[in-house]
Structure 1
Amino acid sequence: MFSIIKRVLIGQPLKSTALGEQKLNKTKALAILSSDALSSVAYGPEQILLVLMTIGAAAYWYSIPIAVGILVLLVALVLSYRQVIYAYPHGGGAYVVSKENLGVNSGLLAGGALLVDYILTVAVSISAGTDAITSAFPSLHSYNVLIACILVAVITVLNLRGITESASILAYPVYLFVLVIFITIGAGLYQIAVGEVPADLHSPIGTPVAGLTLFLLLRAFASGSSALTGVEAISNAIPNFKDPAPKNASRTLAAMGVLLALLFTGIVWLAYYYGISPKAEETVVSQIASATFGRGFMYYTIQGITAMILVLAANTGYSAFPLLAVNLAKDKYIARMFTVRGDRLGYSNGIVFLAVASILLIIVFKGQTEHLIPLYAVGVFIPFTLAQTGMLVKWCREKPSGWGLKLTINAVGAVISFTVMMIFFITKFTQVWPALIFLPAIVYVFHKINRHYEAVGDQLRITTCEPPLAIKGNVMVIPVAGITHVVENTLNYAKSLSPDQIIAVYVAFDKEAEKQFEEKWNQWHPEIRLVTLFSQYRSIIQPLTKFIDTVEHKAKEMNFRVTVLIPQFIPKKRWHNALHNQSSLLIRAFLLYRRDLIVTTVPYHFKK
C-alpha cells in the first residue's frame, strides 16, 4: 500500500543517467531560486512600516529613504554574489567561500546559519502565504497553523517529484505574481498621476517627526532588509543549472536583482502615497490592492496569486537546503544520508528533513510571521558577511587580473552586510538572541559529527587497524522460549554451521516451570546442552546477559568466539507484530552493543 501511494504522489523512479535532464534553464531557475527574494516584497515593506508606526503615521515618509538604502544593499549583494558564482562554480556559496578563505569554523558558522535560514525560509514563506489567504477570507484565521502545515506537505511532495517537474509547475505562479504586482504598481502610479489619490492621505516628504530616533530608523532599515533574504540561494545551487552553469546562474542573479528592486520600490512608494498602515488582520499588499482596484475580481486575483507566491517562495529553501547539506555531508560535518539521491534523483532526505523542521517551527511559533522574520534575516546576514569577507581574503591572496575592482565590490558588500547584521543584533536583540546560542551549538555538533566520521574511517582502514586475533572455535548460544518450530528451525541452522558447542538457554520465572521444561527438552533434543536460568524478578535480559558474560570469559581464554542465535517468528501480515511481545527484538537490541559478541536473528516465516 505504501509503495502504491508513494508512486502516485512522487512518480516512477528515474534512472541515474537521467540526471542531466534534471538541470534548470534560466527561466525556470529564476522562478524556483528567486521566489523567496521576489515574494519578500509582500512583507518586506510592511516590516518597515511596523517599526515606523510606533511613532505615528507622520513618520511613514521615512520608508522612502530607508527603501533607497535597502536598494544600495541589494546592488552590493548582487554584484558580490556574481563574483562568488564565477569564483566557485561548483556551488556551496557562503559555506565553501568561508571555509576555504577564513577557516573551518567560519565555514561551519556560515553553513549552519544557512541551514537554519532555509528552514526559516520555508516557515516564514508558508506562514506569510497563509496570512495572505486569511486576509482575503478572515473566517479561516483560526486555522492558520493547520493550513500552513498542509501547504508544507504539498510543496514537499512537489519537490520529491524532482527538480524539473516542480519547476515546471511552480514557475507559472511566480511569473504571474511579478505580472500582477507590476499591474498593481502601474495602476497605482496612474491613479496618482491623474490625481485620483488625495494628497492628504500621506505626510509630505521632509515633514518633521517628534520622537524619531536614529535607533528606530536603523531598526526599520534592518526590518526592511528582510526583503533581501534569498539573494544567496542562486550561488548555492549552481549545480542545478544547465551548462554553462556559472554564466546562466550569473544572469539569473542579475535578473532577480532588477525585478526585486522594481517591485520593492513600487510597493514602498504606493504604501507611502496611499497612507497605508499595517493591520493585524490585513496585509499591506492587500490594502494597496483594495485601494487600487476595490474588493472585486482583480483584488481577489492579486491576493490569490500573492498567497501562492508566498507559499511557493518556500521552494527556494527546498532547492538550496539539500545542496548545502550535500556539501556539508561530503565534508563529514552532517549525516551522510543527505548525499543520497532519491527515486526522482533529488536529495530526498534533505527535502524531508527540511519539511519536518519547518512544520515544527510553524507549530511552535503558531504561524506568526513577525516572530520568525528577525531570526530569518539575521540568519542570512551572517553568511552574507562571511562570504564577502572570504572573497576579500581570496583576492588579496591570489591577486588575479582586475582584482582591485573585485576587491572593492566585495569590500563594500562586506561592510554593508556587517553593518546590517550588527543593526539587527543591536536593535532586535530581544528577538535574535537565540542565534547567539544555537549557532555555536550547531558548529559544536558539526565538529562532533566530523570527529565521529574520522574515528570510524580510522578504525575501518586495514592499514591502521589492529590485526584481529585468530578465531579457533565458535560457541552458539540460543535463547529459547519453548519447544516450537521456531526454535527447531534455529537449532537446525546452528547444527549446519558445525560449531564447537551449542548451548540452549531457557529463562524460567518459577521453579516448577523450569523443571518441566528440562524434562521435555531432554526428550526432544538430548544431544544439545540446555542451561536453565531462574529469574525471580521476571527479567529475561539480566540473567541471559550474565550467563553470556560467563561464556564469553571462558571462550576468550581459548580464542573462541560467542555467537548468539535469536529465534524469531515473522507473521504473514505486518500488523500481527503488534499482537506479540517481540522479546527477540528486545534481546537483540540489548546485545548488539556488546563488544566481541556476534548476534544473529534466525527468522521463521508463518504461512497464515
Structure 2
Amino acid sequence: MLSSIKRFLIGRPLKSTELGEQKLNKTKALAILSSDALSSVAYGPEQILIVLITVSAAAFWYSLPIALGVLFLLAALILSYRQIIFAYPHGGGAYVVSKQNLGENPGLVAGGSLLVDYILTVAVSVSAGTDAITSAFPALHEHNVLIASVLIVFITLLNLRGITESASILAYPVYLFVLALFILIGVGLYHIFTGHVPADLHSPVGTPVAGISLFLLLRAFASGSSALTGVEAISNAIPNFKSPAPKNAAATLMAMGLLLALLFSGIVFLAYYYGITPTEKETVVSQIASETFGRNFMYYFIQVTTAMILVLAANTGYSAFPLLAYSLAKDKYIARMFTMRGDRLGYSNGIIFLGITSILLIVAFRGQTEQLIPLYAVGVFIPFTLSQTGMLVKWIREKPNGWQVKLTINAIGALISFLVMMTFFITKFAQVWPVLIFLPLLVFLFHRIKRHYDAVGDQLRITTCEPALPIEGNVIIVPVAGITHVVENSLNYAKSLNADQIIAVYVAFEREQERTFEEKWKKWQPDIRLVTLHSYYRSIIHPLTKFIDTVQHKAEDSNYRVTVLIPQFIPKKSWHNILHNQSSLLIRAFLLYRRNVIVTTVPYHLKQ
C-alpha cells in the first residue's frame, strides 16, 4: 500500500539512464532558479522606502540613487557569478570557490551560510505568500501556519517528482508574474508620460532633506539589496542544466539579471513618482497597481501573481539546496545520505530535509517570519563576499588572459558585498547577531562529521586496520518467551548452524512461573540447555543483556563469538504490529552496540 501511495504522489521510478532527460532548458531554468530573485521585486523597493520614511516622505527621491547603487551591485554580482560558472562548471558556487581559493574554513562558512539561507528562503517565501492569501481571505488568517505547512508539503512533493516536472508546472506562475509587472510598469510609465499622474505627488530630485545621513542611506541601500537574494542559485545548480551546461547557465544568469534590473528599477521609479508611502496594511506593489488600474481585473491579476511568486520563490531553495548539500556531503562535511539520488533521480534526501526544517521553522515562529528577513539577507551576503574574494585570489594566482578585467569585476563586487554585509551587522545587529553564533557552531559540526568519516575510513581500510582475529567457535543464545512455533523455528535454525553450544534464555517475573517453564522445557527440548533468569523489576532487557555480557566475556578469552538469535513473528498485515509488544525490537536495539555480539532476527510469518 505504501509503495502505491508513493507511486501516486511521486511517480514511477526512473532508470539511471534517464538522468539526461531530467535536465533543464534555459526557459524552465530561468523560471525555477530565478523565482527567489524575481520575487524580491515585491518587497525590495518597499524595504528602501521603509527606511527613508523614518526621516520624511521628502526623502523618497533618494530611492532613485539607492536603486542605481543596487543595480550596480547586481551587475557586479551577475558578471562575477558568470565568471564562476565558467571557472567552476560542476557547480558548488560560493562553497567551492571559497574552499579552493581561501581555504577550508571560509568554504565551510560560505556553504553553511547558504544551507541555512535556503531553509530561510523557503520559510520566509511561503510565509509571505501565505500572508498574501490570508489578506485576501481574512477568515483564514488564524490558519496561517497550517496553510504554509501544506504549501511546503505540496512544493516538496512536486520537487520529489523530478526537477523537469516541477519546472514545467511552476514556470507558468513565474512568467505570469513577470508579464503582470511589465504590464504594470508599462501602463504606469504611459500614464506618467501622458500627464495622467500629477507631478506634485513626489518631491523633486535634489530636494534638501533635514535629518538625512550617510548611515541612514547605507541602511536603506542594505535593505534594498535584499532584492539580490537568490542571485547565486544558478551557479550552485549548473549540473541541472542541459548540455552545454555552463553556457546555458551563464545565459540564464544574464537573462535573470536583466529581468530583475528592469522590474526592480521600474517599481522603484513608479513608487517614487506616485509618491507611494509604505504601510502595514497594503504593500507598495498593491498601491502602485491600485493607482494605475484601480480595483479591477488587472489589479487582482497582479496581486494573485505576486502571491504566487512569493510562494514559489521557495522553489529556488529546492533547486539549489540539494546540490549544495551534495557538494558538502561528497566532501564528507555532512551526512552521506545527501549524495543519494531518489526514485526520480533527484537528491530526494536533501529535498525532504529542506521541507521538514522549513516547516519546523514556520511552526517555531508561528508563521511570523518577517523578523528572519535581515538574517536571511545577511546570510546571502556572507557567501557573496567570500566567493568574490575567492575569485580575486584565483585571478591573482593564475593570471589567465584578461585577468585584470576579471579581477576588477570581482574586486568591485567583493567591496560592495562586504559593505552591505557590514551595514547589516551595524544597523540590524539585534536581528542578525544569531549568525555569529550558529555559523561557528555549524563549521565546528562540519569538522566533527569530517573527522568521523575519516576515522571510519581508516578503521575499515584493509591496509591500515588491525587484522581480524580468527573465530574458533560460536555460542548461540536464543531469548525465549514461551513454547511456541516462533521459538521452535528459531531453535531449528540455531541447530542448523552447527554451533558449539546453544543456550535458550527465559526471563521470569515469578518463581512459580520459572519452575513451571523449566518443567515444560525439559519435556519439549531436553537436548537444549535452558537458563532461566529471575527479574525483580519486571524488566526483560536488563537481566538478559547482563547474562549475554557474561557469556561474551568468557567467549572472548577463547576467540569464540556470541550470536543472539531473536525469535520474531511477523503478522500478515503491517497494522497488526501495533497490537503486539515489540520486545524483539527492544532487545535488538540494546544489543546492537555490544562489541563482538552478533544479533540476528529469525522471522516467523503468520498466515492470518
Q: What TM bracket, shorter-length normalisation?
A: over 0.9
Q: How far apart, CA to CA, are the structure 2 residues paired with 1:251 and 1:557?
A: 69
Query: In the TM superposition, what are the counterparts of 1:179-258 in structure 2 within 5 Å?
Result: 179-258=179-258
Q: Is the 8 A contact 1:19 1:345 kept in 2?
A: yes
Provide the residue aligned with 1:302 in structure 2.
302
Q: How far apart, CA to CA, are the structure 2 residues paired with 1:76 and 1:145?
A: 38
Matched, 1:78 2:103: no
Provide the residue aligned with 2:576 in structure 1.
576
Matched, 1:462 2:462: yes
Q: How far apart, CA to CA, are the structure 1 residues paired with 2:249 and 2:433?
A: 34
Q: How far apart, CA to CA, are the structure 2 residues paired with 1:491 and 1:158?
A: 49
Query: In the TM superposition, what are the counterparts of 1:149-548 in structure 2 within 5 Å?
Result: 149-548=149-548
Q: How far apart, CA to CA, are the structure 2 residues paired with 1:170 and 1:531?
A: 65
Give the SS at the match of 2:566: strand
Q: Is the 8 A contact 2:362 2:369 kept in 1?
A: no
Q: Is the 8 A contact 1:135 1:283 kept in 2?
A: no
Q: Is the 8 A contact 1:81 1:232 kept in 2?
A: yes
Residue 183 to residue 369, structure 1, CA distance change in 2 (3 Å): farther
Provide the residue aligned with 1:50 in structure 2.
50
User: TM-score normalised to the size of structure 2?
Assistant: 0.98
Give the SS at the match of 1:561: strand
How far off its partner does 1:147 sit?
A: 2.0
Q: How far apart, CA to CA, are the structure 1 residues paired with 2:315 and 2:561?
A: 54
Give the SS at the match of 2:208: coil
Q: Is the 8 A contact 1:132 1:283 kept in 2?
A: no
How far off its partner does 1:211 sit?
A: 2.7
Q: How far apart, CA to CA, are the structure 2 residues paired with 1:94 and 1:162?
A: 25
Q: How far apart, CA to CA, are the structure 1 residues paired with 2:144 and 2:510?
A: 59
Q: How far apart, CA to CA, are the structure 1 residues paired with 2:552 and 2:370?
A: 61
Give the SS at the match of 2:205: coil
How far off its partner does 1:168 sit?
A: 1.2
Q: How far apart, CA to CA, are the structure 1 residues paired with 2:63 and 2:152?
A: 33
Q: How far apart, CA to CA, are the structure 2 residues paired with 1:141 and 1:50?
A: 24
Which residue identity does 2:297 align to in structure 1? Answer: F
Q: How far apart, CA to CA, are the structure 1 residues paired with 2:488 and 2:596?
A: 26
Q: Is the 8 A contact 1:136 1:300 kept in 2?
A: no
1:191-236 CA-partner distances (Å, limit 9, x unpaired): 1222222233222222233333322222211111110011111111
Give the SS at the match of 1:207: coil
Give the SS at the match of 1:212: coil
Worse-matched range after superposition: 53-62 or 164-173? 53-62
Q: Is the 8 A contact 1:365 1:371 kept in 2?
A: no
How far off its partner does 1:176 sit?
A: 1.3
Identity fraction in percent: 80
Q: Is the 8 A contact 2:156 2:352 kept in 1?
A: yes
How far off its partner does 1:368 sit?
A: 2.9
Worse-matched range after superposition: 70-79 or 207-216? 207-216
Q: How far apart, CA to CA, are the structure 2 residues paired with 1:8 and 1:485?
A: 39
1:576-607 CA-partner distances (Å, limit 9, x unpaired): 11111211111110011011111111111111
Give the SS at the match of 1:61: helix
Provide the residue aligned with 1:113 in structure 2.
113
Q: How far apart, CA to CA, are the structure 2 residues paired with 1:244 and 1:587?
A: 55
How far off its partner does 1:366 sit?
A: 2.7
Q: How far apart, CA to CA, are the structure 1 residues paired with 2:55 and 2:365?
A: 27
Worse-matched range after superposition: 363-372 or 594-603? 363-372
Which residue identity does 2:247 align to in structure 1? Answer: K
Query: In the TM superposition, what are the counterparts of 1:7-22 in structure 2 within 5 Å?
Result: 7-22=7-22
Which residue identity does 1:555 align to in structure 2? Answer: A
Give the SS at the match of 1:24: coil
Give the SS at the match of 1:195: coil
Q: How far apart, CA to CA, are the structure 2 residues paired with 1:368 and 1:512?
A: 63
Q: How far apart, CA to CA, are the structure 1 residues paired with 2:593 and 2:312?
A: 45
Q: How far apart, CA to CA, are the structure 1 residues paired with 2:407 and 2:146?
A: 48
Q: Which runs of 5+ in 2 are unaligned?
A: none
Residue 39 to residue 343, structure 1, CA distance change in 2 (3 Å): same
1:3-48 CA-partner distances (Å, limit 9, x unpaired): 2222122111111111111111111111111111111100111111
Q: How far apart, CA to CA, are the structure 2 residues paired with 1:553 and 1:336?
A: 35
How far off its partner does 1:54 sit?
A: 2.2
Which residue identity does 1:597 align to in structure 2? Answer: V
1:485-526 CA-partner distances (Å, limit 9, x unpaired): 111111000000010000011111111111111111111111
How far off its partner does 1:369 sit?
A: 4.5
1:330-389 CA-partner distances (Å, limit 9, x unpaired): 101111111111111111111111111111122222333431211111111000011011
Give the SS at the match of 1:565: strand
How far off its partner does 1:394 sit?
A: 0.7
Q: How far apart, CA to CA, are the structure 1 residues paired with 2:588 and 2:136?
A: 57
Q: Is the 8 A contact 1:321 1:350 kept in 2?
A: yes
How far off its partner does 1:419 sit?
A: 0.8
Q: Is the 8 A contact 2:111 2:324 kept in 1?
A: yes
Residue 144 to residue 288, structure 1, CA distance change in 2 (3 Å): farther
Q: How far apart, CA to CA, are the structure 2 residues paired with 1:596 and 1:100?
A: 42
Q: How far apart, CA to CA, are the structure 2 residues paired with 1:361 and 1:287?
A: 30
Residue 537 to residue 143, structure 1, CA distance change in 2 (3 Å): closer
Residue 340 to residue 106, structure 1, CA distance change in 2 (3 Å): same
How far off its partner does 1:146 sit?
A: 2.1
1:295-325 CA-partner distances (Å, limit 9, x unpaired): 1111111111111111111111111111111
Q: Is the 8 A contact 1:490 1:602 kept in 2?
A: yes
Q: Which runs of 5+ in 1 are unaligned?
A: none
Give the SS at the match of 1:475: strand
How far off its partner does 1:557 sit?
A: 2.0
Aligned residues: 608
Q: Is the 8 A contact 2:237 2:319 kept in 1?
A: yes
Q: How far apart, CA to CA, are the structure 1 residues paired with 2:141 and 2:199?
A: 34
CA RMSD of aligned residues (A): 1.2
Q: How far apart, CA to CA, are the structure 1 residues paired with 2:307 and 2:449?
A: 39
Q: How far apart, CA to CA, are the structure 2 residues paired with 1:31 and 1:206?
A: 38
Query: In the TM superposition, what are the counterparts of 1:593-604 in structure 2 within 5 Å?
Result: 593-604=593-604
Q: How far apart, CA to CA, are the structure 1 residues paired with 2:241 and 2:278?
A: 39
Give the SS at the match of 2:85: helix
Q: How far apart, CA to CA, are the structure 2 residues paired with 1:31 and 1:163?
A: 12
How far off its partner does 1:393 sit?
A: 0.7
Residue 391 to residue 105, structure 1, CA distance change in 2 (3 Å): same
Q: How far apart, CA to CA, are the structure 1 residues paired with 2:143 and 2:270?
A: 31
